[in-house]
Amino acid sequence: MQRKTGFMYIFTAILAIVGAVGYQFFIKKVTPTIHPLVSVLGIYLAVTCITMIALLVFPIKEGISVHIHQLNYTQLVIAICIFMMEIGFLLMYRSGWSLSTGNLVTGVFVNIILVVLGIFFLREKINWINLVGIILSILGVAMISYHR
């Protein structure tokens, strides 16, 4: 198996990690009195502005219309999933989940489901060390979720 390396390989992982950490930290800090839907609306208005600025800074050589024509149902499905994730985490933290366990517990389940989807729909392979990791993750969630 070829090992993936290089600046973009590492940079994109760091970008995703920093974004995910910032997301979880700040979604926990959303003012508890704001209506969750108004909060999400504000988030997406800000994302829209940031994206428009980024398009000015990094213009598309062949023009944006070429890419707009490539939009399909997947963007809608992803938008629905992101909306569900936003509302889910916001309400999770409001209902009492802690920052230190809420994302960890959901993350393990998300990753286990993604492993199953990867195996059955994308024909990805896992090995015995992956299976051991999955079992340890399940045990870890059980231990983290345990309350005396």
Instruction: Please check whether residues 81 and 122 belong to one and the same domain.
Output: no
Identify the top-confidence range among 2-6, 13-17, 101-105. 13-17
Structural domain range at position 111 = 98-148
Instruction: Please check whether residues 38 and 107 belong to one and the same domain.
Output: no
DSSP 32: T
% of the chain exceeding 70 in pLDDT? 97
Instruction: Please check whether residues 4 and 72 belong to one and the same domain.
Output: yes
Q: Distance (Å, rounded) from C-alpha 85 to C-alpha 132?
A: 28
For residue 43, with 0-12 CB atoms within 10 Å meaning exposed, 13-18 middle and 19 or more buried, which class applies? middle
What is the longest distance spanned by two Cα atoms in the chain?
A: 60
Tens of pLDDT along 28-65? Answer: 999 999 999 999 999 999 999 999 999 999 999 998 99
Instruction: Please check whether residues 34 and 88 belong to one and the same domain.
Output: yes
Instruction: Please check whether residues 92 and 103 belong to one and the same domain.
Output: no
- Residue 2: pLDDT band (50, 70, 90) is low
pTM: 0.81
Instruction: Please check whether residues 85 and 120 belong to one and the same domain.
Output: no
Domain final residue pick, 74, 96, 118: 96
Q: Look at residue 5 and tell me whether its pLDDT is greater than 80.
A: no
Q: What pLDDT is stored for residue 104 in this prediction?
A: 84
